[in-house]
Structure 1
Amino acid sequence: MAPYESDDSRGAEEADGRYSARRKAARYGVPVAVVGVAAATIGLVPALADSGDPDLPKITAQQLIEKIAKSDVQRLSGTVRISTDLGLPNLGGLESGLASGAVKDGSGSSADPASKLTELASGTHTLRVAADGQDRQKVSLIESAAEYSLIHNGKDVWGYDSKSDEVYHGTAAQDGKKGKDEAPVTPKDFADEILKSVDDTTSVTVGGTAQVAGRDAYRLVVKPKQASGTTVGAISIAVDSTTGLPLKFTLTPAGGGAAVVDAGFTRISFAEPAAATFDFTPPKGAKVTEGEDAGAGEHARTPGAPRKDASPLEGLAAGGDGMKVLGKGWNSIAVFDTGAKGGIPSSSGDGALGGFLGSLGDQVSGEFGKGTVFSTRLVNALITDDGKAYVGTVTKDVLVKAADAGR
């Protein structure tokens, strides 16, 4: 009974309908915290939970998916530990230098969540989270000598960086969806990105039980049916047995080794947070940047678009222009124009910066011409000399073949 192999066809139709409204094309970028895979249908391989600790009633993958979908946790508070290991090169402070330069030249604020939360793309971080319904949430990134907080309270979104004493103020999306300044930070955020992208190229099973933050949980295991070509090994989602809330998310690469993303609660409470948790008033003397003013002046441009003089890397990070998706499921590849011609400078040309950028990637060639592949343990990107970018959770060889086919 493909692609939804189950003896409960009615339940399958309900589950498919529940998720169809949530599916959308995945957004690609380097570096990333997690990448969804574009999909059209849900395909589940049913399996009963193995015996484990704790001892919970048996459940099928279909039932566990539906339990997540029905989860309606509105109030919680707790601590999340997130570790990300994409295998990015050590840039020796170059990233922070570029970020601080952007702030100094007026093109941004250190409190802007769009840039601040990209710190989660590497290393291990501790977050304090709280939620009280759809209109009030708070995430605090705890650093060694400072704290960054992102607060959503009603129509307002506030970002505060205690280290620089800067404040960012924006407006929340009114449709209940995540805004452009929000990034996945909780296990549920990551799980949603994956589950809305499950298709008939995917195996979904129940892989036993676990205890997370003192809660009994089932382990939902999501992985490609055919591993050839993809960099994704498997995804494990620990699901609270009572509430259906994802408590832990772990993504391991096909190449083995440590998890690429490991995000989970270390402490959680479902009690109502104090109302004062979501109150925020800019400290006296703090610099406040309004969201609509962040790109004013000579730096003004359409949000998400690269500058006219953007390098290929900046065009890639901005998402490029006219993105289309090639392939299906875990081997999907996003293709777009970076807005910059000339590709990535080789290690022998265009000065020290050109040599440095070129040294980070591998020079490749094919029927498409020449280009540079930038690799992580999960996402790989090929930027051709004519400015096109091919990005996906696939191997370098798959990217080159895609570029040859699309020349």
Structure 2
Amino acid sequence: MAPNDSTVGTDGAGAPDGAGTTRTAVRRRASRYVVPVAVAGVAAATIGLVPALAASGDPELPEITAQQLIEKIAASDTQTLSGTFKITTDLGLPSFAGLIPSAASGSSSADPQDRLTQLASGTHTLRVAADGPDRQKLTIVDGSDEYSLIHNGDDVWAYDSKSNEAFHEKTEGAKGEAPEKELPSTPKQLADEILKAAGDTTSITVGGTAKIAGRDAYQLVIKPKQSGSTVESVKVAVDARNGTPLKFTLTSVEGGKPVVDAGFTKIDFGRPAASTFDFEAPKGAKVTEGASAEHEEELKGLEKGFEEFTGSKGGLNVIGEGWTTIAKLDTGAPAPKTDEAPAEVKGFLDSLGDRVTGKFGSGTVFKTKLVNALMTDDGKVYVGAVTKDALVDAANAGK
């Protein structure tokens, strides 16, 4: 039987809200690329973990409300797990082949910042393991080749078996950082914080049950109520026993395949063997050390400069709220002419863009199934998870 399909509204759950969001400190060390504790939960909250291949029918579970399910997720204290999941991302983009340059001279093919971008398209199989906050491992399997990220204590390693290159970085320096905002201390408080923002922008329901990697799960369904969003729905399957998110589906109003579709095919909440997180660079492997403290300071300076720029006149402005939030940036310079670009780049941009006109003048809308951007010919940029018409309306309003 289907759980209680109670509905709540929120202007903050699952959607970008430019005005009221607390900024999170940006961690610059390579460990930020390692899937943290409760790998499934974090992935489901960001890129999502979607329908895993369930062969049996939906399980019979006790009724539960949306608030109770949110509390269950918040109460999850999963510290150990290992498993396999598949992730498929389809933004509706043409192939990037030939457009992305190879790694710069002196850089490592194992550098996480370069390698993890491959998850933004196509289908990938990943193996994950976690043992508390100090030990995590993620491996991307591509045929016979593997790319692994390992966090073990103070060390973060990345290894690319195809090139036999490794990347290493220390994680010290993150200790003692205080949160910028006092967070809710109990699951009930966290759920109340989410539901307190209840409004007309979002519907949250419990939409049935599912069998995910052999586990019984509830389905949390999040839908925009606002018109103009490119998001049709977000669906998260939550382990009925321990509250860990097991799958996630993000669908677009354009229909077709989900934008993100990934799900656990196997999961075990037991403690992985300690040897899982051991790593020693193979003989003959090229080892690249991570950024130095000087680079950390440089990055902090760049971050501060960006914050000052986006807060200044002519910088970044946020239009609207909830699912129809649009970011506006005035570059102050005319848009580049695609006719002047190399042939392969021009063809790629033309396949993405639609020429539009309006009270604002003229420009090009660069589109995906999720995020669209309008670049006007006089150098203004409007971007958001909204439709082409919503971008044009914002530009016409001169906001």
Q: Do the aligned residues in 1 keep the contact of 2:230 with 2:385 (CA within 8 Å)?
A: yes
Residues 77/111 of structure 1: CA separation in 2 closer, same or farther (3 Å cut): same
TM-superposed CA distance for 1:294, in Å, is 12
Contact in 2 for aligned 1:345/1:354 (Cα 8 Å): no
Is residue 365 of structure 1 aligned with residue 369 of structure 2? no
Counterpart selection for 1:352 from 336, 343, 353:
343
Q: Tell me, which stretches of 5 or more residues in structure 2 are unaligned?
A: 1-6, 14-19, 25-42, 47-56, 178-193, 304-313
8 Å contact 1:79–1:129 — kept in the other structure? yes
Amino acid at match of 1:383: M
* Partner residue, 1:288: 287
- For residue 328 of structure 1, report the CA deviation from its aligned partner: 0.7
Cα deviation 1:84-121 (Å, max 9, x = unaligned)? 11111123x224xx341xx2434x43212122111111
Higher relative contact order (CA 8 A, sep 6+): 2
Query: SS state of the match for residue 355, structure 1?
Result: helix
Contact kept? 1:344, 1:354, Cα under 8 Å = no
Aligned position for 1:127: 126
Structure-2 separation of matches of 1:221 and 1:398: 24
Partner of residue 220, structure 2: 220
5 Å-filtered alignment, 1:86-125, equals 86-91=91-96, 93-95=97-99, 98-100=100-102, 103-106=103-106, 108-125=107-124
TM-fit CA distance, 1:264: 1.1
Question: What is the alpha-carbon distance in structure 1 between the residues aligned to residue 84 and residue 45 of structure 2?
Answer: 23
| 2: CA distance, partners of 1:140 / 1:225 | 38
Matching of residue 75 in structure 1 with residue 91 in structure 2: no
Secondary structure (helix, strand or coil) at the match of 1:62 reads: helix
Structure 1, unpaired ranges of 5+: 7-11, 16-21, 27-32, 37-51, 178-194, 307-320
Name 1:66's counterpart in structure 2.
71
In the TM superposition, residue 399 of structure 1 has moved relative to its aligned partner by 1.4
**Cα distance in structure 1, aligned partners of 2:196 and 2:95:** 32
Which residue type is aligned with residue 286 of structure 2?
K
Q: How does 1:330-345 map to 2 (within 5 A)?
A: 330-336=323-329, 341-345=333-337
Aligned-residue offset at 1:225: 1.7
Q: Which residue of 2 aligns with 1:405?
A: 397
Q: How many percent of aligned residue pairs carry the same amino acid?
A: 57
Q: Is the 8 A contact 2:44 2:248 kept in 1?
A: no
Aligned: 1:378 with 2:377: no
> One-letter code of the match for 2:77?
D
Is 1:269–2:263 an aligned residue pair? no
Q: Any idea what the Cα deviations from partners look like across 1:238-267, whole Å, max 9, x if unmatched?
A: 100000000010111112111111121100
Check whether the contact 1:343–1:372 (CA below 8 A) recurs between aligned residues.
Answer: no
d(CA) in 1 for partners of 2:195, 2:360: 33
Kept in 1: contact 2:8–2:205 (CA 8 A): no
| SS, match of residue 291 in structure 2 | helix
Kindly state the Cα deviation for residue 53 of structure 1 after the two structures are TM-superposed. 2.5
Instruction: For residue 198 of structure 1, report the CA deviation from its aligned partner.
Output: 8.0
Matched, 1:55 2:48: no
Indicate whether 1:148 and 2:147 are aligned: yes
1:304-319 map, 5 Å: none
Tell me the SS of whatever aligns to 1:59.
coil
Amino acid at match of 1:272: R
**Count of residue pairs brought into register by the alignment:** 328
C-alpha RMSD of the superposition: 3.6
Farther-moved stretch of structure 1 (198-207 vs 77-86)? 198-207
**TM-score in terms of structure 1 length:** 0.71
Pairing of 1:230-249 with structure 2 (within 5 A): 230-249=229-248
C-alpha distance 397-153 of structure 1, shift in aligned 2 (>3 A): same
Corresponding residue for residue 191 of structure 1? none
Residue 389 of structure 1 and its aligned partner are, at CA, apart by 2.9
TM-fit CA distance, 1:332: 0.9
- Amino acid of the structure 2 residue aligned with 1:75: T
**2:317 touches 2:328 (CA, 8 Å); kept in 1?**
yes
SS at match of 1:238: strand
State the shift of 1:357 in Å. Answer: 4.7
Cα contact 1:232–1:252 (8 A) shared by 2: yes
Distance 1:366 1:86, change over 3 A: same
> What is the deviation of 1:289?
2.2
Does 117-126 or 241-250 show the bigger shift? 117-126
Task: Please tell me whether the aligned partners of residues 80 and 132 of structure 2 are also in contact (alpha carbons under 8 angstroms).
Answer: yes
Partner of 1:88: helix, strand, or coil? coil
**Alpha-carbon distance, 1:128 to partner:** 0.1
Partner of 1:393: 385
TM-score, length-scaled by structure 2: 0.72
Counterpart position of 1:85: 90
